[in-house]
Amino acid sequence: MKITFLLHNGYGIGGTIKTTFNLAEALAERHDVEIVSVFRHRKVANFTLDPRVSMRHLVDLRTEKEHPRHVRPARVFPASEYRYPQYSELTDERIQECLASLTSDVIIGTRPGLNVQLALQAPRSAVRIGQEHLTLKTHPPALRNALRRAYPRLDALTTVSEADANEYRRRMRLPGVRVEALPNSVPEPGIPPADSTGRIVVAAGRLVTSKRHALLIRAFARVAAERPDWQLRIYGNGDQEEPLHDLIHELGLYNNAFLMGKATPMDGEWVKGSIATVTSVFEPFGMTIVEAMRSGLPVISTDCEYGPREIIEDGVDGRLVPVGDEDALAGALLELIRDDELRRTMGAAALENSRRFDPVPVVERAERLMAELVERKRSLRSRLRLRSPAPVRLTDTVRAGAHTVRDMAMAAAITTVRGLRKVRR
């Protein structure tokens, strides 16, 4: 199959980009795969992409940021979508031209706004799959309405959790659209897993309010008071970096808690630790959870909706604690820190249980879905061809026309005669 991914910006950094690269690289083992990045803002991509997967861009922000059509608002990309301010009349035009030119068997959108353009503008000959990397509940009402209008034109919609797939099935009318849960894949790290001896708690993610790193720092203050030989290392960048730095100093944790900045890849950092933490308010999936587990770390996560509870088996390969509960988080951390054997056992279980997110089983599910949709589309086209009427010959058309003219003339004559009879009466 020829498969095309439509991505917001393949040159940036984030979970959607990483999981798209992972899936594209795994599919490239047996298929012709390309990534179309709407934007490009730098010379080299942050993530390394397998050379078997080609990537091209539609708008180069290094040279086209002031393009006359790029300063005009987009009309096709939905205004209620989070990324709308970055889209324009120029992106509408370039995306439409790109989609019209594709000869792909399957085209995959990777965010709601692009899914809308895919549904409205992609060739009907291609299988159109929209991916949801967030959740239906997190979308504003105006965007949900835009999706209700456009998504029935898709062939399939995939979510990263079964809970969100059920949400789409319940709340959206999508007749004929396959709605399937397809989790993100995480390759096996190329280094040995953690051995549970490192006295480090590791967290990774954007330093933004929704990730609740401040809660983690406050909970870790209780750990440091009892076990000052342990460290907390938080990886990532974001607008909360300065407030978090101030909080660390306010709590006197400058020898125990550290903001490490961005690390790509994270494999070498996970294995230095013995416990991973996720304290988000919501996690559509939880890439960092799986990454840590694949490195042999038990994960303590907030039991927020969707992702974590479908990944972590509480008490087996990690712990789930209530959202925003500082006491429960500190207690779970201390439970694992105090018990070396429990930490090792959970780490081993995390390593084993995370294998279900390896690219191989995930890609097998994706391939099966795509193959079924391609076959369904081909079968439908075949049935439509069989139902179409036999071609009509020109002579038949002429004869039919002659009969029609003669019949019309006879009908007119009969009507005239009947009219004259009435007059005579």
Closest CA to 230 of 302, 346, 330, 314: 330
Assigned fold of 2-182: Rossmann fold (3.40.50)
Q: What's the pLDDT at 14?
A: 81
pLDDT tier for residue 375 given thresholds of 50, 70 and 90: very high
* Cβ–Cβ < 8 Å for 205, 278: yes
Q: Give the Cα separation of 228 and 221 in Å (integer).
A: 9
pLDDT tens column, 285-315: 999 999 999 999 999 999 998 899 999 999 9
Q: Give the Cα separation of 326 and 93 in Å (integer).
A: 49
- Is the confidence at residue 351, as pLDDT, over 70? yes
CATH 3.40.50.2000 residue window(s) in the chain: 2-182, 200-357
- Is the confidence at residue 231, as pLDDT, over 60? yes
Q: What's the pLDDT at 419?
A: 46
Query: 186 to each of 19, 26, 55, 136, 307, how far by Cα in Å?
Result: 7, 11, 20, 23, 14
- Is the confidence at residue 391, as pLDDT, over 70? no
Average pLDDT over residues 365-370: 96
Residue type, 203: A
Per DSSP, which regions of 114-185 are E strands?
127-132, 156-159, 178-181
- Is the confidence at residue 370, as pLDDT, over 70? yes
Q: Take residue 215 and report the two structure tokens written for it.
A: 């809660």
Neighbours of 103 (CB within 10 A): 9
- Let me know the angle formed at the C-alpha of 99 by 97 and 105, rounded to the nearest 5 degrees: 150
Average pLDDT over residues 232-241: 96
Closest CA to 202 of 260, 287, 285, 286: 260
Domain 200-357 belongs to what architecture?
3-Layer(aba) Sandwich (3.40)
pLDDT tier for residue 388 given thresholds of 50, 70 and 90: low
pLDDT tens column, 115-131: 999 999 999 999 999 99
In this structure, of 74-78, 172-176, 346-350, the range with the lowest mean pLDDT score is 172-176
Q: What's the pLDDT at 384?
A: 72
Average pLDDT over residues 373-393: 72
Neighbours of 356 (CB within 10 A): 12
pLDDT tier for residue 222 given thresholds of 50, 70 and 90: very high
Neighbours of 71 (CB within 10 A): 11
**CA max distance for the chain:** 121
Burial 73-92 (b: 16+ CB within 10 A, else e): ebebbbebbebeebbbbbbb
| E strand or H helix at 7 | strand 2-9
pLDDT tens column, 37-82: 999 999 999 899 999 999 999 999 999 999 999 999 999 999 999 9
Name the percent of the chain lying above pLDDT 70: 90
pLDDT tens column, 142-158: 999 999 999 999 999 99
DSSP reduced 3-state for 258: strand
Cross-sheet strand order for the sheet of 200-204: 257-261, 231-235, 200-204, 275-278, 299-302, 318-321
| Chain mean pLDDT for the chain | 90
pLDDT tier for residue 99 given thresholds of 50, 70 and 90: very high
